[in-house]
Structures are given as structure tokens and as C-alpha cells.
């Protein structure tokens, strides 16, 4: 199997898990953080920038703040458990419900 296929299947599996539950376990949040770290390291190793511009990050965060899964108290996404002030700046990241 090729790597792109495996990556796509992994992403589909993550999305299905996230859609099945609004409350993430600490274990799932830890797995999400681990996957994010690997994804960003691989992206940088391929020569991509780690971060996007402040303007683009603010645009992403603005979208998050209008989303039903945005937790205003913690400033986290309740779908993936990520702190959005960090996630929205990382070029390799994406919204778990595909809003950006």
C-alpha cells in the first residue's frame, strides 16, 4: 500500500472517531497531539514552512470562533481537543470538520 492511501485512511478513521463523540478522552487528545507533532515534523522535513502568516491564522481562528465545536472557556476545539491559538498557526494542520 502506498503512503498517501494509508494517510487518507488514517484521516478518515480520525474523522469518523471525532464525529462519533463530542467528548474526547484524554487518551484520544494525546493521540491527536502525537499525530499533529508527527505531521508537522514530516511537513517541515519536506521543506514546507511550519507556520502560516498571522493574517491567515487570524482568519482560521475567526472561523473557529463561530463554530459550534469552539469551547470559549478553554479556547479549544471540542472535536479534536487542540488549543486553537496554536493549531491555527501551523501550516500542516486542518480543521477536523473541514472548515479551513
pLDDT range class, residue 67, cuts 50, 70, 90: very high
Q: Where are the domains of the chain?
A: 3-87
**Does the structure show a pLDDT above 90 at 37?**
yes
Alpha-carbon gap, residue 100 to 44, rounded angstroms: 20
Instruction: State residue 3's pLDDT score.
Output: 78
Average pLDDT over residues 84-98: 97
pLDDT at 46 (0 to 100)? 97
Alpha-helical (H) ranges within the chain are 3-20, 26-45, 54-65, 84-87
Overall average pLDDT of the 78-87 stretch = 95
What is the rounded CA–CA span in Å between residue 8 and residue 51? 23
- Asked if pLDDT for residue 12 goes beyond 80, the answer is no
Average pLDDT over residues 64-86: 96
Say if residues 93 and 40 touch (Cβ distance below 8 Å).
yes
Amino acid at each position: 500500500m502506498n503512503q498517501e492511501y494509508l494517510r487518507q485512511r488514517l484521516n478518515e478513521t480520525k474523522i469518523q472517531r471525532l464525529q462519533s463523540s463530542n467528548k474526547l478522552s484524554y487518551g484520544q487528545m494525546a493521540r491527536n497531539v502525537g499525530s499533529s507533532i508527527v505531521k508537522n515534523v514530516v511537513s517541515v522535513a519536506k521543506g514546507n514552512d511550519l507556520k502560516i502568516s498571522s493574517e491567515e491564522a487570524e482568519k482560521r481562528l475567526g472561523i473557529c470562533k463561530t463554530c459550534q465545536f469552539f469551547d470559549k472557556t478553554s479556547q479549544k476545539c471540542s472535536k479534536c481537543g487542540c488549543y486553537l491559538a496554536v493549531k491555527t498557526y501551523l501550516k500542516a494542520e486542518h480543521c477536523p470538520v473541514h472548515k479551513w
